[in-house]
Chains A and B, each alone.
Chain A
Amino acid sequence: MKALFIISGLGILAMLAEIFKFKRALYPLVLIGILAALVANFTEFNNNESIQAFNNMIRFDNVALAFSSVILITAFLWFILANDYFTNETSLTDHFSLVLFALTGALMLTAFSNMTTLFLGIEILSIPLYVLAASKKNDVKSNEAGFKYLIMGSFASAFLLFGIALIYGATGTFDLLAIRAKISEGMPLFFYAGIIMMLIAMCFKVSAAPFHFWAPDVYHGSPTVIMALMSTVVKTAAFVAFMRLFLVGFGSATSVWAMAMAGIIALSLIISNMTAAAQSSVKRMLAYSSISHAAFMLMGILAVNPIYSMRAILYYALAYSVATIGGFTVLYRVEKQSGNTYDDFNGLAKRNPFAALGMLICMLSLAGIPVTAGFFAKYFIFTALIGSTYKWLLVLAVIMSCVGVYYYIKVIIAMYFKKPTHQEPLLIEKSHTLLLAIAVVLVLVLGLLPNFVLSV
């Protein structure tokens, strides 16, 4: 709860910085603020007083706090990554406040307990992102990304609202727990239609196939740091929302949505991995791979295992976000120097051994090779799902992971076994080296001590 207030307050502070001319101090202030929010989160753990605030509109229970901490950690790392994004004099404070407002929405999504807060959270998260995606104003690609994102996002919101309306019509309440209590055999048919519509809307938001068409273009067109934000913080937030909605709200109506979701997962796995393997741009490959990771996290929801699936998703979200941030740090520097194709990574091991090593570990984690966090993330998801009826999905997921290994290894091969196309060494500034080191350490620590997170 306090974290939400701190972050939204920071957003307003960022706007005041423009007036009172402390723009320079803003960056450290924001970092301190996020740390403060994180600390506030930890103090609220197991503190049942603040669970039910505001008439049960929002519930910061332990699950919500854990996920919001993951989001805050990722956001902190992201701010280190994006330090030179905030240099444009004209709109420096605007960028800060937009990112912080998006973060506010993300935190709301971890803790919503009412359809109104769900909708508002999704909108608060999305609207700043539409703008941020288009924030390279002179770049046509970026404009296209923002525009596509806006149209698709509004489309998804329309579905969401329609679904909420139908569910409200059937149950007469917006409250998630009240809806759960009301679900029984004799619900009118349009209640189920409402659930399916919300499923579609949420799949749009997490960009699962076949509602993923916007994602690669949007990710590719946006500025790289914004893409990093979208595929970590935003993705995690959307997933928590998805999870809360379907496990808490519609958990007892699995017969309606489970089959549809299984189909969506299978489709996402196949489409994203096959297309990702065919890409020549690493940035685009990461965009498709994020769809595939979305499918893996969806499998955690499909498991409908009250204790296990939430932990598996939590672990997956953390492992994925950290590895992605690490990967993006290297990609960002490489892109600045030359470009974002595989060829630009050629011989990176000679040009900057440390960056290559970091990228290697992050890619291995994303691919799910043992000892890294990514392996255990996939392992937990699989164990969560193994008890359910969807065992065929497991087989498919394992096969598709192998395809995934192929395109992640392609980056590694380019870095270690190909002759460099650019001879000059890749320079990485200190803060980014530090960030990469943190990411690598986190990936390894999470991989070596997986129970550390699960015990939460």
Chain B
Amino acid sequence: MLTFVIYKSILCVVVFGVSLGVAAYSTWWERKFAAFLQDRKGPSRAGPFGILQPLADGGKMFFKEEIIPNVSNKFLFVLGPSLFLLTALMTGVVIPWGKDLIIGGKAYPLQVTDINIGIIYVLGVTSVGVYGIMIGGWASNNKYSLLGAIRASSQMISYEIAMGLSIIALVITAGGTLSFREILEKQDAGISNVMYQPLGFLIFLICAFAETNRAPFDLSECETELIGGYNTEYSAFKLGAFMFAEYINMFISSAIMAGLYFGGYNFPFAHELYSAMGLQEGSVAISLIGFLVYFFKICLFISVFMWIRWTLPRFRYDQLMNLGWKVLIPLSLFNLVLTVVVEFFRGTIVF
């Protein structure tokens, strides 16, 4: 029992640390990527290739003056960013980061907890994350913040529907389980779910952009209309918390996409490779390779997020809502029906 608790605590800390680290370096990579696309150099002063830039940014955030507007609700003003950061970090716990380690005959899963409804847990936690933005925006007592908050949260709850529907289609294909771990294990042969669910993946991808409030759906922080969006009144580390949470959300949603649709730590011909290298099932090396493969996929997805951001212009708000309600939801319903019909003829569903 004690070793279990210690192991899980260590794993929790590691997952949180990795999330925060990835989020920090995503900011650096975002700027480098933008610079590359715009034929600039990007951050280059702090360390080689500006590699220390996130640390410098973090330090600046930390030492800036903390401003709490006089007329705001102080408790809620602090609660907003904290809640947003908390929920962003909480989603990481259901993701299996690699194959189980077997040390001394005991299996140590590289996943904090395997609940049998992992995917819905993620949806639930992200839906609570909306409150962080809403509370923060409202407590600022600033109409731009409020408008930004309302935009962000209505867009998040609208796109959650299409996202949920595409997940249901995926669950039907992936063998009727809501557990993350089992979905990943079903892709063990190297054939990833995106082969069966291309449309579902596309819908999920678009929804993931909207859920993380990233361009081209970053209406909530549309500078030309709303100054800074829901975080207009925030400064110092509370602003940092909002930004961090956004990058963590991006990291987690990349991890979810890579896991659900692209096999996570599995890759084609993995077993052949392992046996060629003479590795035992459950050895540290296999777990490590799996983790690195997963991490590579995640980084690719994060890059896609950035690529899109610096390529596509921002939507208008009514276009965003039309896309969500009139295109994506019918499309995902169609996808669901199609999936059920196909699976019925494949014989996986019995009525």
Do A and B interact directly, with beta carbons closer than 8 Å? no
